[in-house]
Amino acid sequence: MKIKHYILLTLFGAFMFSSCESDLDVEIRDPNITLADQIFTSAEAYKQALAGVYANLSLSSLTGPGGSNIGGLDAGTGQYMRGLFNLQNLSTDETIFTFENDPGIRGVQRNSASPENVLLRGVYSRAMFSVSLSNEFLRQSTDELLQSRGIGSLGDIQTYRAEAKVLKALSYYHLMDMFGKAPFYDETTEVGFTQGEELSRPELFDLIEGLLLNSLEDLPAGNSGEYGRIDQGVAHMILAKIYLNAEVYTGTPRYAEALSRSEAVINSGYQLVNDYQFNFLADNNSNGAQNEIIFPIANDGQTTQNFGGTTIIIQGQVGAQEQNGESLGVNPGGFGGLFRLRPQFSEKFTLNPLFENDARNLIITEDRPISLVVTDPNTGYITTKYSNRTSTGGFGSDRTFTDADFPMFRLADAYLMYAEAHLRGGGGDLNTALNYVNLLRERAFGDTSANIVSAQLDLNFLIDERARELYWESHRRQDLIRFGLYTGNQYIWAFKGGPSTGTSIDSFRAIYPIPSASLATNQNLTQNPGY
């Protein structure tokens, strides 16, 4: 689905918004029904409107990469995928950001974020904006409105509506995972700055589960539709995620459902691409990786220019010493050495000589110390996992803004989730779980030399294997929490909790605080304990 230049996203931001988030600086215009009637005049208009909902995951505005359609936030802070990367990866053992004086960075990467942290506000506001866009699409696509506008029965409308429901569930899932609570809005909410009632984590869980289950029958089968659009596989994948983490979210384990939904994803027609890094290249929409990537967030150097997504990841990978931007398909200096690896993550590849031949080991160690000084981009190892080069050696369409789509969900994760759910008592079969893990190992090593046996398949193995397979894909914080390794002192990494050697962090840090700006604009919201 093309998502470029759709004016509807701007129009949604201007007059079709039902959230209480007044800090989003959204202007309400009257009468919106008349304006909506002027826009939703054909089946194509509805598809364009749906594309606008998808576009919110990629773009910060339609005025250009430097703009933001969320008031008070700059283009980078308010971009969906950049915010997700910050909160899920930067807060863990995976990576460190060099310019720690940038607003909000220190609090996130040293696990001391306060309710005033602007990065938290960016994620919370953008996710709630996504909920609002989805609700508006659902509000404008009822049978009654279709008939009143003379469109009649729109054959694809049920599929479009199902996609909008999954997009809403996705954003609520991210809010549930990171913040634990969010205000409730649906398509029946009165348009205007309504203060939605607060939903607790268990209530959000039920809402997300219901939206996904309700949408399934109206979605195409997995890997059978248009690349980049939601299908049944995406819904199954989010369900697998919430069930795998259900004990964290609700206090009640649901590993059998996690295994069942992982199995549903695996049986949905996706397949591993032969080369691991193809998943992260400029042509990952066409080089075979499109069959492994269950849900990509579109990046295009010409049509979806933004300072988040894979643009900041790839540009930020460029080392200050190496000046290796050319090899990654971007400008020689990149963004000046933004990202480096923390030692504890690097060691998952470097301590054991076995992983020297692992295709996932895309770490540059030469002439660099493994230890970090936060403000010195020449310290710490770096990675070249993502690239703006193609599988045939070509370049992306632009040297600043990248073409590599961000793989939010891919099949490899479903394999690992099946194995974990089995080990946690969710049923299934040990040999099947072992086979899924070894399929990933065989791809990584090119043969069976690194395959494991059943006695080696345990939870300690899996948390490290998830790190090696899925690093920088915005899963790490969630994984560490589920394994009991994020808070406390069972696992310490550099700068955890503040000092360079790391320290224990309090258990309340497993949930981020609700941003102060959101509390100020919705009196129904309450702060999380500890903040």
Q: Looking at residue 463, what is its pLDDT? A: 98
Q: Looking at residue 191, what is its pLDDT? A: 79
Q: DSSP secondary-structure letter at 48?
A: H
Q: pLDDT (tens digit, 9 = 90+) per residue, 231-252?
A: 999 999 999 999 999 999 999 9
Answer yes or no: are the C-beta atoms of 56 and 126 closer than 8 Å: yes
Residue 432 has pLDDT above 90, yes or no: yes
The CATH number assigned to the domain holding 97 equals 1.25.40.390
Answer yes or no: are the C-beta atoms of 278 and 272 closer than 8 Å: no
Q: 378, 271, 260, 261: which is closest to 318 by C-alpha?
A: 378
Residue 19 has pLDDT above 80, yes or no: no
127 part of a folded domain: yes
Indicate the pTM of the whole model.
0.94
Give whole-number Cα distances, 355 to 346, 380, 441, 487, in Å.
Answer: 11, 19, 11, 28
User: What are the structure tokens assigned to 36, written together?
Assistant: 């909506």
Residue 519 has pLDDT above 70, yes or no: yes
391 part of a folded domain: no
Q: How many residues does the chain have?
A: 531
Lowest mean pLDDT of 65-79, 269-283, 324-338, 461-475, name the range: 65-79
Angstrom distance (rounded) from CA 177 to CA 185: 18
437 part of a folded domain: no
In 288-355, where does DSSP find H-type helix? 309-317, 343-350
174 part of a folded domain: yes
Residue 298 has pLDDT above 80, yes or no: yes
Residue 4 has pLDDT above 50, yes or no: no
For the chain, the first-to-last Cα distance in angstroms comes to 42
Residue 487 has pLDDT above 60, yes or no: yes
Residue 1 has pLDDT above 60, yes or no: no
Q: Looking at residue 70, what is its pLDDT? A: 76
Q: Looking at residue 29, what is its pLDDT? A: 36
Place 323 in a pLDDT band, splitting at 50, 70 and 90. Answer: low
Q: Looking at residue 153, what is its pLDDT? A: 65
Q: Which residue has the tokens 């009196």?
A: 523
The mean pLDDT of 84-95, rounded to a whole number, is 98
Angstrom distance (rounded) from CA 437 to CA 451: 8
Angstrom distance (rounded) from CA 349 to CA 357: 10
Residue 477 has pLDDT above 70, yes or no: yes
Q: Which residue has the tokens 């703006």?
A: 388
362 part of a folded domain: no
Place 514 in a pLDDT band, splitting at 50, 70 and 90. Answer: very high
Q: List for the chain the helix, strand, coil content (%; round to 5).
A: 45, 5, 50
b/e for 465-494, b at 16 or more Cβ within 10 A? Answer: bbbbbbbbbbbbbbbbbbbebbbeeebbbb
Give whole-number Cα distances, 218 to 145, 157, 158, 195, 448, in Å.
Answer: 20, 9, 6, 31, 41
Residue 10 has pLDDT above 70, yes or no: no
The total domain count for the chain is 1
Domain boundaries, position 202: 40-218
112 part of a folded domain: yes
Give whole-number Cα distances, 176 to 117, 374, 512, in Å.
Answer: 18, 30, 10
State which amino acid sits at residue 275.
D
User: What are the structure tokens assigned to 416, written together?
Assistant: 């690992």
354 part of a folded domain: no
Lowest mean pLDDT of 144-158, 287-301, 354-368, 394-408, name the range: 144-158
Question: Which residues are paired to 198 by β-bridges?
Answer: 183
Angstrom distance (rounded) from CA 397 to CA 393: 13
What percentage of the chain reaches a pLDDT higher than 70?
92
Residue 26's CB is within 10 A of a number of other CB atoms, namely 21
Q: Looking at residue 322, what is its pLDDT? A: 65
Residue 472 has pLDDT above 60, yes or no: yes
Residue 219 has pLDDT above 50, yes or no: yes
278 part of a folded domain: no
Q: Looking at residue 33, what is its pLDDT? A: 46
Place 75 in a pLDDT band, splitting at 50, 70 and 90. Answer: confident
Angstrom distance (rounded) from CA 12 to CA 45: 13
State which amino acid sits at residue 530.
G
Answer yes or no: are the C-beta atoms of 135 and 144 closer than 8 Å: no
Answer yes or no: are the C-beta atoms of 138 and 165 closer than 8 Å: yes
Q: Looking at residue 12, what is its pLDDT? A: 42
More confident residue, 68 or 50: 50
Q: 522, 524, 491: which is closest to 111 by C-alpha?
A: 491
Answer yes or no: are the C-beta atoms of 525 and 519 closer than 8 Å: yes
The mean pLDDT of 397-413, rounded to a whole number, is 96
Answer yes or no: are the C-beta atoms of 204 and 181 closer than 8 Å: yes
Helix axes 411-423, 430-445, angle to 10 degrees: 140
Q: Looking at residue 457, what is its pLDDT? A: 98
Q: 450, 415, 459: which is closest to 435 by C-alpha?
A: 415
Q: 6, 30, 4, 2: which is closest to 16 by C-alpha?
A: 30
Lowest mean pLDDT of 43-47, 262-266, 347-351, 445-449, name the range: 43-47
Lowest mean pLDDT of 1-10, 87-96, 118-127, 299-308, name the range: 1-10
Mean model confidence pLDDT for the chain: 91
Angstrom distance (rounded) from CA 246 to CA 243: 5
Place 2 in a pLDDT band, splitting at 50, 70 and 90. Answer: very low
Answer yes or no: are the C-beta atoms of 472 and 92 closer than 8 Å: no
Angstrom distance (rounded) from CA 505 to CA 499: 11
Q: Looking at residue 30, what is its pLDDT? A: 41
The mean pLDDT of 203-211, rounded to a whole number, is 98
Residues 6+ apart with CB under 8 A from 148: none
Q: DSSP secondary-structure letter at 290?
A: G
**Dihedral of CA 499/504/510/511: which sign?**
negative
Angstrom distance (rounded) from CA 70 to CA 23: 8
More confident residue, 105 or 59: 105
Q: Looking at residue 167, what is its pLDDT? A: 98
Angstrom distance (rounded) from CA 170 to CA 302: 26
Angstrom distance (rounded) from CA 520 to CA 21: 9
Q: pLDDT (tens digit, 9 = 90+) per residue, 124-181?
A: 999 999 999 999 999 999 989 988 888 866 678 999 999 999 999 999 999 999 999 9
Residue 216 has pLDDT above 90, yes or no: yes
Q: Which residue has the tokens 């069976």?
A: 448
